[in-house]
Amino acid sequence: MAFSMAGGGPSSPQMNVTPLIDVLLVLIIIFMVIVTEQKDKGLDAQIPQEQQQTNAPPPVDRTIVIEVQEGANGEPPTLKINQQDVKWEDLQPRLHDIFKARAERVAFVKGDDEVDFQYVADVIDLAREAGVDRVGLLTERR
């Protein structure tokens, strides 16, 4: 056995960190791949698209827009279906009559800024009970 007298004592063990760093890098890559593979699923939004200008005759407008307008002096809001006044109690039967013969059961709700959202939610609920499959919300362009 050979002893080293030049250093002044036995050498201390040293930890090899290279394999540990390799394992950590592999784990980081795995987690990055997993995070990019997961896609958040939100609600499907159906937004009305602008019509393109053509020389063809204008198509028949089959869009149903239910307007919820602010009532006068604290009264409940007034309702209109495509610019025709409708009473609250007549809304569901009227929508049922409109959509009973249609294959496309889509309606849009347009509410004034001053109207409580509860009234808009009530209109959406009544429309769904009347047989409307999809209800969209319209906003003003600014």
Model pLDDT for residues 57-85, shown as the tens digit of each residue: 555 567 889 999 888 777 888 999 988 89
Kindly compute the dihedral angle of the four CA atoms of residues 49, 53, 57, 62, in this order, to the nearest 10 degrees.
Answer: 10
- Number of domains present in the structure of the chain: 1
Tokens representing 101 are: 């013969």
CATH code for the domain of 94: 3.30.420.270
Domain-embedded: residue 101: yes
* Inter-residue contact 138 to 48 (CB < 8 Å): yes
Domain-embedded: residue 7: no
Domain-embedded: residue 51: no
Domain-embedded: residue 105: yes
Buried b (16+ CB within 10 A) or exposed e, 54-76: eeeeeeeeeebbbbbbeeeeeee
Domain-embedded: residue 22: no
Tokens representing 55 are: 């020389």
Residues in the chain: 142
Domain-embedded: residue 43: no
Rg from Cα positions in the chain: 33
Domain-embedded: residue 12: no
- Pick the more confident residue, 133 or 60: 133
- Segment 4-29, tens digit of pLDDT: 555 566 777 888 888 899 999 999 99
